[in-house]
Chains A and B, each alone.
Chain A
Amino acid sequence: AQTVTQSQPEMSVQEAETVTLSCTYDTSESDYYLFWYKQPPSRQMILVIRQEAYKQQNATENRFSVNFQKAAKSFSLKISDSQLGDAAMYFCAYRYNNNDMRFGAGTRLTVKP
Protein backbone atom coordinates (compact mmCIF):
# COMPACT_ATOMS: atom_id res chain seq x y z
CA ALA A 1 0.00 0.00 0.00
CA GLN A 2 1.14 3.48 -0.77
CA THR A 3 2.00 5.49 2.32
CA VAL A 4 3.02 9.06 2.97
CA THR A 5 5.20 9.95 5.95
CA GLN A 6 5.71 13.37 7.45
CA SER A 7 8.31 12.90 10.16
CA GLN A 8 7.99 16.36 11.70
CA PRO A 9 4.77 16.74 13.71
CA GLU A 10 5.66 20.35 14.52
CA MET A 11 8.02 22.96 13.13
CA SER A 12 8.62 26.59 13.93
CA VAL A 13 10.27 29.39 12.00
CA GLN A 14 11.08 33.01 12.60
CA GLU A 15 9.23 35.48 10.44
CA ALA A 16 11.16 36.24 7.22
CA GLU A 17 13.28 33.11 7.63
CA THR A 18 13.20 29.91 5.56
CA VAL A 19 11.82 26.57 6.67
CA THR A 20 11.72 23.13 5.05
CA LEU A 21 9.03 20.55 5.71
CA SER A 22 9.84 16.91 4.98
CA CYS A 23 7.78 14.27 3.25
CA THR A 24 8.61 10.77 2.09
CA TYR A 25 6.37 8.31 0.32
CA ASP A 26 6.37 4.67 -0.57
CA THR A 27 5.35 3.53 -4.03
CA SER A 28 6.22 1.13 -6.81
CA GLU A 29 4.57 3.32 -9.44
CA SER A 30 6.54 5.46 -11.88
CA ASP A 31 3.86 7.98 -12.85
CA TYR A 32 2.16 9.87 -10.06
CA TYR A 33 1.51 13.29 -8.63
CA LEU A 34 2.53 14.89 -5.36
CA PHE A 35 0.86 17.77 -3.58
CA TRP A 36 1.31 20.02 -0.59
CA TYR A 37 -1.86 21.35 1.00
CA LYS A 38 -2.13 23.99 3.71
CA GLN A 39 -4.84 23.85 6.38
CA PRO A 40 -5.08 27.09 8.37
CA PRO A 41 -7.16 27.41 11.56
CA SER A 42 -10.27 27.83 9.38
CA ARG A 43 -9.62 24.16 8.45
CA GLN A 44 -10.16 24.63 4.75
CA MET A 45 -7.61 22.72 2.70
CA ILE A 46 -5.75 24.98 0.29
CA LEU A 47 -3.49 23.71 -2.47
CA VAL A 48 0.02 25.11 -2.09
CA ILE A 49 1.97 23.37 -4.81
CA ARG A 50 2.00 20.22 -6.91
CA GLN A 51 4.64 18.17 -8.71
CA GLU A 52 4.35 15.68 -11.56
CA ALA A 53 6.67 12.73 -11.04
CA TYR A 54 7.74 12.65 -14.68
CA LYS A 55 9.07 16.19 -14.46
CA GLN A 56 12.62 16.54 -13.21
CA GLN A 57 12.29 20.27 -12.60
CA ASN A 58 11.17 21.20 -9.11
CA ALA A 59 7.88 23.09 -8.92
CA THR A 60 7.81 26.62 -7.52
CA GLU A 61 4.96 28.95 -6.58
CA ASN A 62 6.16 32.33 -5.39
CA ARG A 63 7.73 31.76 -1.94
CA PHE A 64 6.99 28.03 -2.01
CA SER A 65 9.21 25.49 -3.72
CA VAL A 66 9.77 21.78 -3.54
CA ASN A 67 12.80 19.53 -3.57
CA PHE A 68 11.63 16.41 -5.40
CA GLN A 69 14.00 13.47 -5.19
CA LYS A 70 12.30 10.65 -7.10
CA ALA A 71 14.86 7.96 -6.41
CA ALA A 72 14.79 8.72 -2.71
CA LYS A 73 10.99 9.11 -2.77
CA SER A 74 11.29 12.43 -1.03
CA PHE A 75 9.20 15.56 -1.56
CA SER A 76 10.08 18.42 0.78
CA LEU A 77 8.48 21.86 0.84
CA LYS A 78 10.56 24.99 1.30
CA ILE A 79 8.91 28.20 2.44
CA SER A 80 11.04 31.28 1.95
CA ASP A 81 10.55 34.65 3.66
CA SER A 82 8.04 33.11 6.06
CA GLN A 83 5.02 35.20 6.94
CA LEU A 84 2.64 35.06 9.87
CA GLY A 85 -0.09 33.91 7.50
CA ASP A 86 1.92 30.80 6.67
CA ALA A 87 1.14 29.36 10.10
CA ALA A 88 -0.98 26.26 9.49
CA MET A 89 -1.00 22.50 9.23
CA TYR A 90 0.73 21.32 6.07
CA PHE A 91 -0.18 18.02 4.47
CA CYS A 92 1.80 16.15 1.88
CA ALA A 93 -0.29 14.02 -0.50
CA TYR A 94 0.39 11.44 -3.18
CA ARG A 95 -1.88 10.42 -6.04
CA TYR A 96 -1.16 7.67 -8.55
CA ASN A 97 -4.53 6.76 -9.96
CA ASN A 98 -7.85 8.41 -10.48
CA ASN A 99 -9.24 7.94 -7.07
CA ASP A 100 -6.47 7.03 -4.67
CA MET A 101 -5.03 10.06 -2.92
CA ARG A 102 -2.97 9.41 0.19
CA PHE A 103 -2.24 12.04 2.82
CA GLY A 104 0.46 12.27 5.44
CA ALA A 105 -0.39 13.00 9.07
CA GLY A 106 0.61 16.64 8.73
CA THR A 107 3.16 19.09 10.09
CA ARG A 108 2.04 22.01 12.24
CA LEU A 109 4.03 25.12 11.32
CA THR A 110 4.32 27.98 13.78
CA VAL A 111 5.67 31.35 12.61
CA LYS A 112 7.23 33.52 15.32
CA PRO A 113 7.12 37.30 14.93
Chain B
Amino acid sequence: DGGITQSPKYLFRKEGQNVTLSCEQNLNHDAMYWYRQDPGQGLRLIYYSQIVNDFQKGDIAEGYSVSREKKESFPLTVTSAQKNPTAFYLCASSIGEGTRETQYFGPGTRLLVL
Protein backbone atom coordinates (compact mmCIF):
# COMPACT_ATOMS: atom_id res chain seq x y z
CA ASP B 1 0.00 0.00 0.00
CA GLY B 2 1.22 3.50 -0.78
CA GLY B 3 1.55 5.97 2.01
CA ILE B 4 3.66 8.00 4.38
CA THR B 5 5.29 6.45 7.42
CA GLN B 6 6.77 8.24 10.39
CA SER B 7 8.85 6.72 13.13
CA PRO B 8 9.02 6.46 15.99
CA LYS B 9 5.49 7.09 17.21
CA TYR B 10 6.86 8.46 20.50
CA LEU B 11 10.32 9.92 21.07
CA PHE B 12 11.96 11.11 24.25
CA ARG B 13 14.75 13.64 24.25
CA LYS B 14 17.16 14.46 27.01
CA GLU B 15 18.44 17.97 27.56
CA GLY B 16 21.21 18.87 25.10
CA GLN B 17 20.51 15.90 22.88
CA ASN B 18 19.83 15.90 19.16
CA VAL B 19 17.11 13.54 17.96
CA THR B 20 16.02 12.58 14.46
CA LEU B 21 12.46 11.92 13.30
CA SER B 22 12.01 9.70 10.28
CA CYS B 23 9.62 10.30 7.38
CA GLU B 24 9.36 7.96 4.41
CA GLN B 25 6.92 7.96 1.51
CA ASN B 26 6.36 5.50 -1.33
CA LEU B 27 3.90 7.68 -3.23
CA ASN B 28 6.55 8.94 -5.67
CA HIS B 29 5.84 12.47 -4.49
CA ASP B 30 8.39 15.17 -5.24
CA ALA B 31 7.51 17.58 -2.42
CA MET B 32 7.78 16.85 1.30
CA TYR B 33 7.03 18.96 4.36
CA TRP B 34 7.51 19.01 8.12
CA TYR B 35 4.96 20.63 10.44
CA ARG B 36 4.81 21.16 14.15
CA GLN B 37 1.51 21.01 16.06
CA ASP B 38 1.15 22.41 19.57
CA PRO B 39 -1.95 21.90 21.76
CA GLY B 40 -4.86 24.11 20.72
CA GLN B 41 -3.06 25.32 17.64
CA GLY B 42 -2.97 24.54 13.98
CA LEU B 43 0.06 23.29 12.10
CA ARG B 44 3.13 25.42 11.53
CA LEU B 45 5.64 24.77 8.76
CA ILE B 46 9.20 23.93 9.81
CA TYR B 47 10.90 22.94 6.54
CA TYR B 48 9.91 21.85 3.07
CA SER B 49 11.62 20.26 0.09
CA GLN B 50 10.45 20.41 -3.51
CA ILE B 51 13.15 18.16 -4.93
CA VAL B 52 16.02 15.94 -3.88
CA ASN B 53 19.03 17.78 -2.45
CA ASP B 54 17.07 20.98 -2.01
CA PHE B 55 15.04 22.31 0.93
CA GLN B 56 13.86 25.63 2.34
CA LYS B 57 13.02 27.00 5.77
CA GLY B 58 9.46 27.45 6.85
CA ASP B 59 8.11 29.74 9.55
CA ILE B 60 9.75 28.08 12.55
CA ALA B 61 12.99 26.50 11.27
CA GLU B 62 15.22 27.65 14.14
CA GLY B 63 16.53 24.70 16.11
CA TYR B 64 15.72 22.19 13.39
CA SER B 65 17.60 20.72 10.44
CA VAL B 66 16.65 18.46 7.54
CA SER B 67 18.17 16.57 4.64
CA ARG B 68 16.75 15.27 1.38
CA GLU B 69 19.23 12.79 -0.06
CA LYS B 70 16.53 10.49 -1.46
CA LYS B 71 13.16 11.24 -2.95
CA GLU B 72 11.46 8.90 -0.51
CA SER B 73 13.01 10.22 2.68
CA PHE B 74 12.94 13.55 4.52
CA PRO B 75 14.30 13.18 8.08
CA LEU B 76 13.98 15.99 10.61
CA THR B 77 16.59 16.57 13.31
CA VAL B 78 15.58 18.45 16.43
CA THR B 79 18.77 19.98 17.73
CA SER B 80 19.69 21.07 21.23
CA ALA B 81 19.17 24.65 20.03
CA GLN B 82 15.40 24.05 19.97
CA LYS B 83 14.48 25.08 23.49
CA ASN B 84 10.88 23.97 23.47
CA PRO B 85 10.72 20.83 21.34
CA THR B 86 7.77 19.11 23.03
CA ALA B 87 5.12 18.88 20.32
CA PHE B 88 3.49 16.63 17.76
CA TYR B 89 5.38 16.50 14.47
CA LEU B 90 3.67 15.76 11.18
CA CYS B 91 5.31 14.96 7.87
CA ALA B 92 3.45 15.50 4.61
CA SER B 93 4.04 15.06 0.91
CA SER B 94 2.47 16.19 -2.34
CA ILE B 95 2.85 15.17 -5.96
CA GLY B 96 4.44 18.41 -7.03
CA GLU B 97 4.92 22.00 -6.15
CA GLY B 98 1.76 23.48 -7.59
CA THR B 99 -0.70 25.16 -5.33
CA ARG B 100 -3.42 22.76 -6.42
CA GLU B 101 -1.51 19.76 -5.15
CA THR B 102 -3.04 18.29 -2.04
CA GLN B 103 -0.77 17.48 0.86
CA TYR B 104 -1.09 14.05 2.41
CA PHE B 105 0.03 13.43 5.96
CA GLY B 106 1.80 10.71 7.89
CA PRO B 107 0.61 9.47 11.31
CA GLY B 108 2.92 11.79 13.26
CA THR B 109 5.57 11.57 15.98
CA ARG B 110 5.10 12.87 19.49
CA LEU B 111 8.31 14.28 20.95
CA LEU B 112 8.67 14.65 24.70
CA VAL B 113 11.52 16.14 26.69
CA LEU B 114 12.76 14.24 29.75
Q: Which A residues contact B (CB, under 8 angstroms)?
A: 4, 9, 31-33, 35, 37, 42-47, 50, 52, 91, 93, 95-106
Most buried by B among A95, A99, A105: A99
Interface presence of B63 (CB below 8 A):
no
Are A35 and B102 CB-contacts (below 8 A) given A44-B108, A98-B50, A105-B40? yes
Q: Which residues of A contact B42 (CB under 8 A)?
A: 4, 91, 93, 102-106
Q: List 26 A-B contacts (CB under 8 A).
A: A9-B40, A35-B102, A43-B107, A43-B108, A44-B106, A44-B108, A45-B92, A46-B105, A47-B102, A47-B103, A50-B102, A93-B43, A98-B97, A98-B99, A99-B45, A99-B48, A99-B58, A99-B97, A100-B45, A101-B45, A103-B43, A103-B44, A104-B42, A105-B41, A106-B40, A106-B41
- How far does the Cβ of B106 sit from chain A's closest Cβ, in whole Å? 7
How many residues does chain B have at the interface if contact means C-beta atoms less than 8 Å apart?
A: 26
Q: Which B residues contact A (CB, under 8 angstroms)?
A: 31, 33, 40-45, 48, 50, 56, 58, 88, 90, 92, 97-100, 102-108
